[in-house]
Structure 1
Amino acid sequence: MTFPFSSTSLVKDIVNELPKSSDVFKKNRIDFCCGGNIPLSEAVEKNGLNMEALLEELKVVFEKYEHEEKDVDVWTDSDTNTIIDHVITNYHRASEEELTMLSPYVTKVSRVHGDHHPELLKVYELFYEFKKELTEHMEKEEAIVFPLIKKLADGTVENREEAIQLITELEKEHDHAGEILRKIREVTSDYTLPLDACGTYRLVYARLEALEGLTFMHVHLENNILFPRYI
């Protein structure tokens, strides 16, 4: 099969067609969730990247995974209920668990090393802001918005405008969560560890970066696949 992407392909469409491309975009600091509705050429220009090199990275991933069956349970051909159930099971529950487990490590590292590495105090502040907002966001999705979206899907919703307004609010919350993660990455210099970093310090940076990836895919499934069906 011929490599289907070019400089004019939208970032979000590439991820929809080739989910593993999200790893390439994450590595190159290309926002494929909140900012995915732009051509690859624009993303390359924004981040000062080389188009040929990026396309080559994508091609390697494409050739590796083109023969694998697409994950029909979560991508564009799935029904709304399947996507919602997948998001709740694989992203909400996983995020809740990781936020809970990671909290004491973030607190410990900032307390022990904050005097010599003041950026950790900012990481502490941003992490707990992110934790509070994402937790409230997921609760709202499960209690209010997802049930409304399911009614939109089966045609039984009574107030379509209310549902659309709530979806729009969720997208704004996604943008803010993405901005907090961007600040964490900025203040940690792309999770660059100092020479004196202890094991817990290393653990925190590694798990914060993994949490970023989990959140980006969570947002991508909603912003670029689920929500556009109803707006």
Structure 2
Amino acid sequence: MPITFSSDTLVKDIVNELPKTSDVFKKNRIDFCCGGNIPLSLAASQNGLNMDSLLEELKVIADKSESAETDLAVWTNSDSNTIIDHVINQYHRTTEEELSLLSPYVTKVSRVHGDNHPELLKVYELFYEFKKEMVEHMSKEEAVVFPLIRQLADNTINNREEAIAMIVELEKEHDHAGEILREIRAVTSDFTLPLDVCGTYRLVYKRLEELEGLTFMHVHLENNILFPRYLG
């Protein structure tokens, strides 16, 4: 279903529908949290912004959301080099960006609300563990393992056993990342929001859930389509 909004749409409703638009609002110094109950046109006027330019920035986020893949079956018949390039461009770069952008929100919410909601302190701990592991994992994939898989695909590999061992290691890292995400989901009671929480609190939960979905698609493409070609 297409995502639509206009100059009359409330700022908070745009963020609720598309959490990543919060980055656009933050960049333009628009308060989407406490001051989000106003039309986009008023927010633009109050901050001296060009309405058309602001709408265009938001549309970019909406278009990315609309084009996000929901069915990865098409990759079953793709060659390994194509899949690797897609993983790097679609998942690694997107995950790196989201981890970087989400970090200050997670930190802020845990600092401001952690005393009354101690689960946020655990979310903070788990999120930064996940971030550290995923950044290292993706770096290893690009620098070491993906080049080995390309050699396997081209049949130019010198040490097939080493490559297979590293693929198995990546699968174990995927399992651990998944376990961290399951812990985040458990400690947040499936991202259930307490009553009367602020917009940033709501934003963190929605984006953490979207990060979970992004990671699961990433892992599915590797574990269930790419890696089995070389582990059989």
Query: Residues 77-103 of structure 1, C-alpha deviation per residue, up to 9 Å, x if partnerless?
Result: 000000000000000000000000000
* 1:196 Cα deviation after fit: 2.3
1:124 matched residue in structure 2: 124
- Cα distance in structure 1, aligned partners of 2:74 and 2:214: 14
- Cα distance in structure 2, aligned partners of 1:218 and 1:99: 15
Q: Does 1:79 align with 2:79?
A: yes
- Cα distance in structure 1, aligned partners of 2:129 and 2:84: 25
Q: Does 1:201 align with 2:201?
A: yes
Query: Residues 61-115 of structure 1, C-alpha deviation per residue, up to 9 Å, x if partnerless?
Result: xxxxxxxxx9789510000000000000000000000000000000000000000
CA shift in 2, pair 1:211/1:221, >3 Å = same
Listed as ranges, the gaps of 5+ residues in structure 1 are: 1-69
| Partner amino acid, structure 2, of 1:221 | L
* 1:158 Cα deviation after fit: 0.1
Q: Does 1:171 align with 2:171?
A: yes
| Partner amino acid, structure 2, of 1:163 | A
Q: Which has the larger radius of gyration?
A: 2
Equivalent residues in 2 for 1:92-111, closer than 5 Å: 92-111=92-111
2:149 matched residue in structure 1: 149
Query: Residues 141-193 of structure 1, C-alpha deviation per residue, up to 9 Å, x if partnerless?
Result: 00000000000000000000000000000000000000000000000000000
CA shift in 2, pair 1:71/1:112, >3 Å = closer
Describe the SS at the equivalent of 1:75.
helix
Query: Residues 110-141 of structure 1, C-alpha deviation per residue, up to 9 Å, x if partnerless?
Result: 00000000000000000000000000000000
Could you say what the CA RMSD is over the residues aligned between the two structures, in angstroms? 1.5
Across the two proteins, how many residue pairs are aligned to each other?
162
Q: Does 1:226 align with 2:221?
A: no
1:138 matched residue in structure 2: 138
| Contact 2:72–2:221 (8 Å) recurs in 1 | no
| Contact 1:74–1:82 (8 Å) recurs in 2 | no
* 1:197 Cα deviation after fit: 1.0
| Partner amino acid, structure 2, of 1:158 | N
CA shift in 2, pair 1:170/1:199, >3 Å = same
Query: Residues 28-73 of structure 1, C-alpha deviation per residue, up to 9 Å, x if partnerless?
Result: xxxxxxxxxxxxxxxxxxxxxxxxxxxxxxxxxxxxxxxxxx9789
Listed as ranges, the gaps of 5+ residues in structure 2 are: 1-69
| Partner amino acid, structure 1, of 2:135 | T
| Partner amino acid, structure 1, of 2:115 | D
Describe the SS at the equivalent of 2:77.
coil
TM-score normalised by structure 1 residue count: 0.69
| Partner amino acid, structure 2, of 1:212 | E
CA shift in 2, pair 1:228/1:177, >3 Å = same
